[in-house]
Amino acid sequence: MIKSRRGNRIVAMFLAFLMFISVFAIIIDAVVPSASANTQAEIDRLRAEKRELDRQRQNVQSRIDDIEFDRLTTVAQKEVLDDRIMLTWQEIESVSEVIALYEILIIEKEIEVTQAQIRENEQLENYRARVRSMEENGIITYLEILFDSTSFADLLARWDFVGDIMRADERAYADLVAAREETQAAEEALKLTKEGLEAEKEQLEIRERELEEQIVEANALIEQIMDTLEGERALYQEVAAEARSIQAEINRLVEQQRREEEERRRREREAQARRAAERTATQGPRVTGTGQLMWPASGPVTSGFGNRTHPVFGGTRFHAGIDIGASHGASVVAADSGVVIVSTFNSSYGHFIVINHGNGMTTLYAHLSARLVSVGQSVSRGQLIGRVGSTGVSTGPHLHFEVSINGTRVNPLNHL
């Protein structure tokens, strides 16, 4: 009898422990979200962005296929082709991000499979142990428990205890089945994730081939103009006019920024005079560069500053900056600290950025495939601001880099 009660206490303690473990597991699952679920959510978000980029790219392609496209000027056609190239490049970056996340997701899924297999093995060992116990003791163990009862009330209590044991046996089998199903589900999820990764890699290869073809097509368009002296002169006049207009706008923005800075400092001095105890102004000083520029991109100088002669037709035209040869999508960084005063698209310069470094110095970065900073943003020396491209009047990926001092373009090599 004492042995039977001790067995009851042990079983009760064991069941209580199982209940505690179950509740604890539920709490952990509720508080700590699945890492793979977070990664999958990020993949879904990027896929939604990619669908929008694809829609925009299809719209641009529709403009190219339209009969009206042939009636546009060559420079205007190049602008449309540049839009398509930019969207294709953005899709490539998006697909690359998805691939990176898929690789993380596969690791997380492999961990989930391993954990599920461990739980399945534990459940299998528990079930095997119970089956061995049943084979050794048999159903007679249950009968002995019932026959040892001392009263009808004791018999009922023992009957409930036997029922608990039998239900525990059923739960052990159900837990084993659930663990096997969990392992199979984790393995299937891992398989689907690997298939998804391969699909994204195929998409990346397709988009990269499209990008190469689009760049060739866009470059050929500008080369058509440059095949004749008349076309070369017309193109140069257009680019030169755009350059003068851009420089005038830069000068205007620098002067506007100078006046705003003077006004800000005046208000700051007045505020400090009114509040002598407060030494911190509400707005910090503008970022000013060092005056010594770093190279904005890695690559050789493919065209220098100053007059250059056409290789076939002769004649000279002024090149207001230097061209730095680099691959499409290569990093472009701020040559010095400063404030972005221009970040826009122009038919001649393509996507370009201008930074005011203070003390009369500005830098210009043109033919970009992507602009990563906006007007009014403060940037630090060496900060990533864009990607090399071939937008605007350009026949190949490179960075056109200009330096202006007090409104006049100067040779960038003298300041690098």
Q: What's the pLDDT tens digit per position in 342-384?
A: 998 888 888 999 999 988 899 999 999 999 999 989 999 999 9
Write out the two tokens for 3: 């042995």
Return the higher-pLDDT residue of 303 and 235.
Answer: 303
Burial track 16-26 (b if 16+ CB lie within 10 A, e otherwise): eeeeeeeeeee
Distance CA 301, CA 309 (A): 16
Asked if 355 contacts 334 with a C-beta cutoff of 8 angstroms, the reply is yes
Distance CA 268, CA 262 (A): 10
Residue 131 has pLDDT above 50, yes or no: yes
SS (H, E, C) 248-310: HHHHHHHHHHHHHHHHHHHHHHHHHHHCCCCCCCCCCCCCCCCCCCCCCCCCCEEECCEEEEC
Could you tell me the pLDDT band of residue 143, with boundaries at 50, 70 and 90?
Answer: low
pLDDT at 153: 63
Report, as an integer, the average pLDDT of 208-222: 83
Could you tell me the pLDDT band of residue 407, with boundaries at 50, 70 and 90?
Answer: confident
What angle is formed at CA 176 by the lines to CA 173 and CA 181, rounded to 5 degrees? Answer: 130
pLDDT in tens, 79-103: 888 888 888 888 888 888 888 888 8
CATH code of 246-274+287-414, in short, is: 2.70.70.10
What stretch(es) of the chain map to CATH 2.70.70.10?
246-274+287-414
Distance CA 293, CA 413 (A): 9
Report, as an integer, the average pLDDT of 336-344: 92
pLDDT at 20: 40
Return the higher-pLDDT residue of 265 and 156.
Answer: 265
pLDDT at 183: 79
Residue 21 has pLDDT above 60, yes or no: no
pLDDT in tens, 280-301: 333 444 567 777 899 999 999 9
Question: Most confidently modeled of 60-74, 113-127, 225-239, 354-368?
Answer: 354-368
Return the higher-pLDDT residue of 43 and 242.
Answer: 43
β-strand partners of 353 = 343, 365
Work out the end-to-end distance of the chain between its first and last CA atoms, rounded to an integer number of angstroms: 95
pLDDT at 284: 40
Compute the mean pLDDT over every residue in the chain, rounded to the nearest whole number.
Answer: 75
Q: Which residues contact 116 (CB under 8 A, 6 or more apart)?
A: 179, 182, 183, 185, 186
Distance CA 403, CA 319 (A): 12
Q: For residue 410, which phi and psi values (nearest 5 degrees)?
A: -130, 170
pLDDT at 232: 57
pLDDT at 152: 55
Residue 68 has pLDDT above 50, yes or no: yes
Residue 194 has pLDDT above 90, yes or no: no
pLDDT at 283: 40
**Least confident residue range of 42-51, 171-180, 246-255:** 171-180
Share of the chain above pLDDT 90, in %: 17
Q: Look up the pTM and report it.
A: 0.58
